[in-house]
Structure 1
């Protein structure tokens, strides 16, 4: 029986080639989209599961309250780790201090590489369950050792059998204690390419001074609780350890320590007023819904085309019933046809998925591959295809099998005027979803462009940042500057404690005239050398810049507009501000500069003078080419810092990276919207083809009676245009509602002008006309003699 069902199903597929092609292609495209989204979602949901202790590892964080607003900080003071180990030893298996992930210079003989990594305490590799290729996880217990990732070991030595070889990390000679497998891309710590002992880092002056400073929030602390299910209770136990040890200035921020599980790092990274408020999980839900709807669109095509051809299948149903077939057998027959179509579409979708995966990975910033060897993938894939086939074929199966054989065989069977309503409703549903996706895609791109065009308060063009790996260049910064100025490669150079495109340190304890005694102040602070303003091209609202060589300016400050507003100063220039038991004079006020997220308000920022800092900023001379300038800068850099790689970053490129996430989501959404429209158009094409076939004789009669081709084209197209107009009427308010709410998440956001919806409507109608016109024009131009010869 099953064999017969499949044989008849195959014959019907072959017999109706256009109908079958449209069904298989639309289903396969829908399955491809769903498969890509499914693989992407799996990559997101499996984030950090590489670590065996995934459920019991946490980041130690703190909430601080400033003027009623709670901020959640990853940066922690060192004494918190000591206190956790001392007072709560039974609650933790490991408590690990760590530096931030930064590039460092690794040298071996004549090789000098810039590698990103961390300084961590000895138990870190065990807590993270690193997979060792050579050596063992306990290697960091030797303070003169280092662990390298597989890719770094191969880059330096060409293999991973490098145990006991000695390399230099910055200025420290270290023995390689082991090589670990590269951490996968879907881990939060994937960019850690080496782990060096915390003891080396602890010897640096800044860390030594912070050993007992409860206010120095400059480090990371990771922990593994003894039992994963106790994480919430342990978090509750430790919340006051910082507050109880703070001095008066620190207590004003009411710090509360808490554990944030690794399972929430990636998808729930955002906090609002001290509470986890989501993050990338919204994109998991969004694309999950998109995948379902795109698949539903493909299934709608199957339903529409199957029910539209019901009159042609009606006589077959009548004969089968007259021969004794039961309705259940007919249902199985039609379901077997849809299952066969779905399985063929699944096979095509595997090919399409493999074909577009490189493009998709580039677009999504992922390293996804089809899980060919995973039986769960095949079980889910074939099961999904079967469910799609059953869903797509269920309505046609029950509908076609319900025909009465007597009426069909007598030739009096008619579908009636109401029979087309379900098909029309499904077409409306298709285009409604597609139009909503188009509106959403346009709004996302408009939002990114709106924020990109936001004034940044300085000149990004031709601005380059360099982070030296030692103090050598800083000691010769004057000679370095003079050489480059004489060569005409730069316009100016200056140093700063922070990158202009990254977050800055925060400080409190400032005092000024008229300050509210209850105000808990918190400012972003930048250490800069005197030429910083000229180098970056900041714009003054009042006062002046720092003067090079001025001793008096060592006690001066430059504030941004937000800082002046925050302080409530009317005439800020010349006023005195107290900070760290020292008085400073405000020299000038600059326009606000976008330093952190361009989507958020600018922080009150104070720039203070220094003679040396970690970042070197260079303004390329606009009169020479960038390539020539970089060549000259690199040569001079190597003159004063021989053996160090010249690693530079363009500020405009670093700033553009801030939009990567939104742009990536926008590109993915536009791709899926395009595929949704394609699937909907396939359905329209199939419906138009069928309607033209059904109305062949009517078109012939109208042509004989004098109807023009344009009149016939209008006749066949108007029904589809009406359906699209109904879709637009539904999609426009729904799209407006959702995108308006989405934009409210951003402090700076674009609007929703009327022309956006008008353009979407015009585009949708144009696409519809283009889709159905081929069949309409073909039918209108057909020779009526051929269609009427049987009359």
Structure 2
């Protein structure tokens, strides 16, 4: 190692990068795959999901009707227990002394929540904690936040503003683990929820069931159609002209119940509304493949450089064989050397991992620490990893070196020229194939993200300041709005409880052109409550009709629909036409305007039908602003808030930031792709640097003779690099169709997406080729400029 410092450094550093990458991505993959596994009954817990298609509108819901869990337990012996969560009411205000705190992680829960899920309770009885009205369970963090201690049994939380409810704390639970698909700090008794229970047609509850041991959930799932026939259809028949499930389906509609395994929710659920930000099994596969490829590239470097330098050890092998050393002993020696170098690289990798872990946590949205490396799941793997890699990477070089024939090597007839090693060329090609694949993937991901951010969304998301929790202002809401509109830089403002971003509030209603809804003319449509200023504040474009106006008293029964809704209704001119709803105190609405389609959900979905009506949505306000001093403006708004409601928390966000949150997973993938694309190129170039250095050494005298005979520097550089250029071009030709297939599959998740352009692939090839040539050219030019006298005088 000390005699060959350059090659030792390349081998150790290259393997270290591979190990570090593998460790970090391994931590990520293990964490993603372990979500919700901490529950004792995790393998038997399922969430009840609902698929609905009505009037051509598809809904994939993570929620179900409030009575479903109860009747499943009553009608099916396979169901051991059920529990529901209701989080639709959003954040609540809780009094602490003379101030209020806005709590977002709060939900109503059934008393059976602790029979289904395993959330350790450190005080109180989980069996009875929520079985009475006005009871609450809080987390350790919440208990300390409000009372400074976890000894809070019997103390009360005052929840709400105008209508306050005092909840008696009956239990304290440990903070929900980060690897849970939902996180709540406060659980309120379901008995306190003001809701019209018993409605099978409104799907607003996250319902979880525990099946008895040995139950095949696929077979059980098939029985759930019986619940639809027995309970859902009779209620539908009372409200709509629908006689049977068969008639409903013949009209092209759908209503199905499905069971989602608890441990699949985080990675495999793309439904709405979710209780947290889910991951993606697709990205777990991608990250796993990247980790393996980076480690494999480092191993390939090791194999390439070890076999390339075989001539330096050829005579050693020959003498050992002449003296009677068996081939197996030689292989053991070389593999032991390989394992030793692997462990050295692993030690360096642990240092690299420690240094880059904060950066990796940032791009992967994790909170890994060095302690995670010694966890029971990871420590055995880490101890074996360098040994396995050392054996695998060292096997071929050991076999290659131990196979030399003594008579050949001792006569100095061994030929190990780099250009004659077809196996080594295959390995180099594979390295650059992987590098190009990742570069293409990076380009496509960033082009798609740029497309999303620059596409005409149908509304203006820039310079829109959202003030959250404005319901806390109570009767002072309008006064606050008027005060903000007086500030320099504020152009307009509106109530904005509903915003065109995913996971904003959504309310799906059933509508029809006729007063009686039937299977053939009914459809689902979102309904948003907005005020007179909502449409102009968000820069939406009216195609027909007008905006709401205080000059028209009849606008209280008016709605503005989007283009999709107009198309579903099929009116030649929808202005003035009526639409009927079965879920409202008002039987019909008349259309006053048609707004151009705008994206109110992720671009993975088509724009569905939507309507807006005049109504109260006072839990947020949006202000269109134009200022060069945004911090100063926010400070002024905060001062106005504190002047009106000093005891209330001030909370704000920007609409463009909330829009970007919808694509946070893609942004993470983009950053990871960039990082590991660079790493693969670095590892591949380290190998190239080693190979060309060795090649220059092996051909020193040839280069000297060529220079004496008049060869130019450019000619010699071309001689030493042409083989590598061919290999990179070959790698590009192989990688391009595979990358096209993979990235086209990834883009299928987006309804609105870019086209794969030819220059993506050309650019990836050029970038890889340029970096590789810079690496190779340094050593090639150095060899070409060497004085031929020095290279020839030893002969």
The reply to whether TM is greater than 0.5 is yes
- Name the CA shift for 1:85/1:513 in 2 (closer, same or farther; >3 Å): closer
Shift of the alpha carbon at 1:456? 1.6
Following the alignment from structure 1 to structure 2, what is the Cα–Cα distance between the partners of residues 578 and 378? 63
Structure-1 residue corresponding to 2:136 = 146
Structure-1 residue corresponding to 2:587 = 582
Following the alignment from structure 2 to structure 1, what is the Cα–Cα distance between the partners of residues 604 and 320? 66
- Name the CA shift for 1:256/1:731 in 2 (closer, same or farther; >3 Å): closer
Shift of the alpha carbon at 1:685? 0.4
Structure-1 residue corresponding to 2:701 = 697
- Name the CA shift for 1:536/1:528 in 2 (closer, same or farther; >3 Å): same
Following the alignment from structure 1 to structure 2, what is the Cα–Cα distance between the partners of residues 231 and 376? 29
Shift of the alpha carbon at 1:229? 3.6
Structure-2 residue corresponding to 1:651 = 655
Following the alignment from structure 2 to structure 1, what is the Cα–Cα distance between the partners of residues 416 and 73? 78
- Name the CA shift for 1:589/1:509 in 2 (closer, same or farther; >3 Å): closer
Structure-2 residue corresponding to 1:125 = 114
Structure-1 residue corresponding to 2:201 = 215
Structure-2 residue corresponding to 1:540 = 542
- Name the CA shift for 1:147/1:263 in 2 (closer, same or farther; >3 Å): same
Pick which of 26-35 and 178-187 moved more.
178-187
Specify the SS of the correspondent of 2:50.
strand
Specify the SS of the correspondent of 1:688.
helix
Structure-1 residue corresponding to 2:448 = 447
- Name the CA shift for 1:514/1:182 in 2 (closer, same or farther; >3 Å): closer
Following the alignment from structure 1 to structure 2, what is the Cα–Cα distance between the partners of residues 615 and 175? 26
Structure-2 residue corresponding to 1:161 = 151
The answer to whether 1:559 aligns with 2:561 is yes
Structure-2 residue corresponding to 1:196 = 188
Pick which of 636-645 and 536-545 moved more.
636-645
Shift of the alpha carbon at 1:158? 3.4
Following the alignment from structure 1 to structure 2, what is the Cα–Cα distance between the partners of residues 478 and 350? 58
- Name the CA shift for 1:22/1:625 in 2 (closer, same or farther; >3 Å): closer
- Which of residues 764, 768, 776 is equivalent to 1:764? 768
Q: How many residues end up aligned between the 2 structures?
A: 765
Shift of the alpha carbon at 1:91? 2.1
CA contact (8 A) 2:85 2:205 kept: yes
Structure-1 residue corresponding to 2:87 = 99
Following the alignment from structure 2 to structure 1, what is the Cα–Cα distance between the partners of residues 24 and 215? 34
Following the alignment from structure 1 to structure 2, what is the Cα–Cα distance between the partners of residues 640 and 573? 41
CA contact (8 A) 1:307 1:396 kept: yes
CA contact (8 A) 2:73 2:81 kept: no
Shift of the alpha carbon at 1:66? 2.8
Q: For 1:300-319, what aligned pairs fall within 5 Å after superposition?
A: 300-319=300-319
Specify the SS of the correspondent of 2:69.
helix
Structure 1 residue ranges (4+ consecutive) displaced by more than 6 angstroms after TM superposition: 513-517
The answer to whether 1:44 aligns with 2:45 is no
Shift of the alpha carbon at 1:417? 8.7
CA contact (8 A) 1:503 1:595 kept: no
Structure-2 residue corresponding to 1:6 = none
Specify the SS of the correspondent of 1:521.
strand
Specify the SS of the correspondent of 1:266.
helix
The answer to whether 1:717 aligns with 2:715 is no
The answer to whether 1:28 aligns with 2:21 is no
Following the alignment from structure 2 to structure 1, what is the Cα–Cα distance between the partners of residues 781 and 569? 72
CA contact (8 A) 2:156 2:168 kept: yes
- Name the CA shift for 1:60/1:516 in 2 (closer, same or farther; >3 Å): closer
The answer to whether 1:607 aligns with 2:612 is yes
CA contact (8 A) 1:98 1:120 kept: yes
- Name the CA shift for 1:121/1:337 in 2 (closer, same or farther; >3 Å): same
- Name the CA shift for 1:750/1:258 in 2 (closer, same or farther; >3 Å): closer
Following the alignment from structure 1 to structure 2, what is the Cα–Cα distance between the partners of residues 514 and 218? 24
Specify the SS of the correspondent of 1:239.
helix
Structure-2 residue corresponding to 1:173 = 166
The answer to whether 1:775 aligns with 2:775 is no
Shift of the alpha carbon at 1:487? 4.8
Shift of the alpha carbon at 1:254? 4.7
Shift of the alpha carbon at 1:228? 6.2
The answer to whether 1:787 aligns with 2:776 is no
The answer to whether 1:363 aligns with 2:363 is yes
Shift of the alpha carbon at 1:154? 2.8
CA contact (8 A) 2:515 2:580 kept: no
Q: Deviations over 1:505-562 (max 9, x none)?
A: 2111321699997244111211212222233221111111000263111121111111
Shift of the alpha carbon at 1:427? 0.5
Shift of the alpha carbon at 1:714? 2.2
Specify the SS of the correspondent of 1:265.
helix
Shift of the alpha carbon at 1:131? 1.8
- Name the CA shift for 1:722/1:233 in 2 (closer, same or farther; >3 Å): closer
The answer to whether 1:428 aligns with 2:429 is yes
- Name the CA shift for 1:664/1:90 in 2 (closer, same or farther; >3 Å): closer
Following the alignment from structure 2 to structure 1, what is the Cα–Cα distance between the partners of residues 116 and 354? 36
Q: For 1:667-706, what aligned pairs fall within 5 Å after superposition?
A: 667-706=671-710
CA contact (8 A) 2:57 2:608 kept: no
Following the alignment from structure 1 to structure 2, what is the Cα–Cα distance between the partners of residues 514 and 56? 42
Structure 1: stretches of 5+ with no match in the other structure: 1-12, 273-277
Specify the SS of the correspondent of 2:318.
helix
Following the alignment from structure 2 to structure 1, what is the Cα–Cα distance between the partners of residues 377 and 607? 48
Specify the SS of the correspondent of 1:587.
strand
CA contact (8 A) 1:620 1:629 kept: no
Following the alignment from structure 2 to structure 1, what is the Cα–Cα distance between the partners of residues 764 and 321? 49
Following the alignment from structure 2 to structure 1, what is the Cα–Cα distance between the partners of residues 486 and 20? 59
Shift of the alpha carbon at 1:571? 1.7
Following the alignment from structure 2 to structure 1, what is the Cα–Cα distance between the partners of residues 368 and 228? 42
Shift of the alpha carbon at 1:67? 4.9
Shift of the alpha carbon at 1:85? 4.0
Specify the SS of the correspondent of 1:255.
strand
- Name the CA shift for 1:325/1:494 in 2 (closer, same or farther; >3 Å): same
- Which of residues 224, 228, 241 is equivalent to 1:238? 224
- Name the CA shift for 1:402/1:265 in 2 (closer, same or farther; >3 Å): same
Following the alignment from structure 2 to structure 1, what is the Cα–Cα distance between the partners of residues 319 and 567? 85
Shift of the alpha carbon at 1:411? 2.6
Following the alignment from structure 1 to structure 2, what is the Cα–Cα distance between the partners of residues 284 and 33? 14
Pick which of 645-654 and 328-337 moved more.
645-654
Structure-2 residue corresponding to 1:259 = 259
Structure-1 residue corresponding to 2:603 = 598
Shift of the alpha carbon at 1:16? 1.8
The answer to whether 1:53 aligns with 2:41 is yes
Shift of the alpha carbon at 1:40? 0.8
- Name the CA shift for 1:198/1:679 in 2 (closer, same or farther; >3 Å): same
CA contact (8 A) 2:485 2:492 kept: yes
Structure 2: stretches of 5+ with no match in the other structure: 273-277
Shift of the alpha carbon at 1:352? 1.2
Structure-2 residue corresponding to 1:395 = 396
Shift of the alpha carbon at 1:639? 4.7
- Name the CA shift for 1:161/1:469 in 2 (closer, same or farther; >3 Å): farther
Specify the SS of the correspondent of 2:47.
strand
Following the alignment from structure 1 to structure 2, what is the Cα–Cα distance between the partners of residues 468 and 306? 65
Q: Deviations over 1:397-424 (max 9, x none)?
A: 1111111111222233334798411111
- Name the CA shift for 1:297/1:486 in 2 (closer, same or farther; >3 Å): closer
Pick which of 110-119 and 30-39 moved more.
110-119
Shift of the alpha carbon at 1:678? 0.7
Following the alignment from structure 1 to structure 2, what is the Cα–Cα distance between the partners of residues 292 and 123? 44
Following the alignment from structure 1 to structure 2, what is the Cα–Cα distance between the partners of residues 247 and 708? 88
Following the alignment from structure 1 to structure 2, what is the Cα–Cα distance between the partners of residues 31 and 139? 48
